[in-house]
Structure 1
Amino acid sequence: MGLSSRSAVAIHALTMLARWDHSLTSAEIADSLASNPVLVRRILGSLRDADLVWATEGRGGGWSLARAPHEITLHDAYTAVEEGPILSRHAHPPSDACEVGRHMQNLLETEFRDAEQAMEERLGRTTIAHLVQQVLAAERAHALPK
């Protein structure tokens, strides 16, 4: 299927939830994303299904992290909201009558698998807590007089 924006939305939402000491509504998260609360609720639902967030209903309710920010990796967020391989494969088998066509699927499968594994390993090294630290550092730098 390929990578969609769901990962970016999920990571953004998780980082917001880690940054603040209280639960947030999907509308509050959507405001930060300049997005629609319905889209955010769908993403949060997938994160809930993966045991990364939980929700409380009613007045004062909202979404909170289900685990400590240092225990949630970007790979966790990615796998909660994305399906299928990152890189698209041939939609149908290429021609076996062509010397390129008869070998390309196997060659690309090896390259794509290695690239996807490298991405998974990289995302697994970064936690939501690390992103919160980066946000706070960037905000401090932004606040300095120019």
Structure 2
Amino acid sequence: MGLSSRSAVAIHALTMLARWDDRSLASAEIAESLASNPVLVRRILGGLRDADLVASTEGRGGGWSLARAAREITLYDAYAAVEAGPVLSRHPHPPSAECEVGRNMQDLLEAEFRDAERAMEERLGRTTIADLARKVLACEREVALRNS
């Protein structure tokens, strides 16, 4: 299937929720930060809710919040919650068994792609939403210093 923008949207939304963890955020607020559509954001948040990464409350003062501490949610958790299938696309149909390349390519690529996907999972698993929220604040402090 290949990687979509769902992961980036999910990570962005989770980081916003971590940044303003003292209150719930409406999907429209998150969508505004993404310059996106609230319906798309709600779909992504629904996947995050299904994975027990966020919780929602309805009614006045309701919205979205983290279901657990930001330091306990990795980028891989967000990725796994909203992406389906492998990151790297495989052959859409079996290549020719009559060709020496075709006969061997699927198995060779499968091993390479599996290793690459494991490396990505491991790397994304090292960074938490809390790490990104801290980096956002650090970037904002740098901007404020430059502008003062």
Question: Structure 2-normalised TM-score?
Answer: 0.97
Amino acid at match of 2:109: L
Rounded to whole Å, the distance in 2 between the matches of 1:122 and 1:131 is 14
5+ residue gaps, structure 2:
none
User: Which amino acid counterpart does residue 3 of structure 1 have in structure 2?
Assistant: L
- Map of 2:5 onto structure 1: 5
- Residue deviations 1:84-143, cap 9 Å, x none? 011000000000111111000000000000000000000000000000010000110111
2:100 and 2:144 map into 1 onto residues whose CA distance is: 60
Instruction: Quote the residue 1:82 is aligned against.
Output: 83
Deviation at 1:144, TM superposition (A): 1.2
Q: Are residue 105 (structure 1) and residue 106 (structure 2) matched?
A: yes
Q: Which residue of 1 aligns with 2:14?
A: 14
Q: 1:37-70, CA deviations, whole angstroms, 9 ceiling, x for partnerless residues?
A: 0000000000000000000100111000000000
The CA distance in 1 between the partners of 2:66 and 2:9, in whole Å, is 15
**Can you give the 5+ residue segments of structure 1 that lack an aligned partner in the other structure?**
none
In structure 1, the residue matched to 2:139 is 138
Aligned residues: 146
Question: Using the alignment, how far apart are the partners of 1:16 and 1:94 within structure 2?
Answer: 45
CA RMSD of the aligned region, Å?
Answer: 0.6
